Amino acid sequence: MKKIAEHIAHIKGKPHHIRKQIAFSVAALGTAIIAFVWLAISLGAGVFALKPTSFADSAGGEGAIIVSGDNDVQGLAGAAAAPALNDASAPARIEIIDTTSATRPNKQAEQTVIPF
């Protein structure tokens, strides 16, 4: 059985395109082995398993969470309307209320452009 150094010396004597093909083959084989080990460990640990919860379970219909970047009265309209919108018989909907012109009369409303 040949040693690794003898294999490398034998490959060094081959033409450039053959050495390049061997190098890419060895790199692809090493990558495949690492990917297979990673996938086997991930599947064995249950990393890809689906959790038995859904959005409806996690939301729970408990109320609304209001996140605001500034601490003014901008989010109060949504907080006041949240209990009224929590009726189970009504269909789900989203209502956007523009409060920027009422709270900041001197500032122009910025338009959002979504490129496609």
Q: Of 69, 73, 77, 68, which Cα lies nearest the Cα of 97?
A: 77
CA distance 67 to 64: 10
CA distance 97 to 94: 10
Residue by residue, pLDDT tens for the chain (116 residues) are 678 899 889 999 999 999 999 999 999 999 999 999 999 999 888 888 776 666 656 665 554 555 555 555 555 555 555 555 555 666 767 777 776 655 555 666 667 777 76
Taking CA atoms, 8 is separated from 2, 27, 63, in Å, by 10, 15, 68
**CA dihedral of 66, 67, 72, 74, whole degrees rounded to 10:** -60
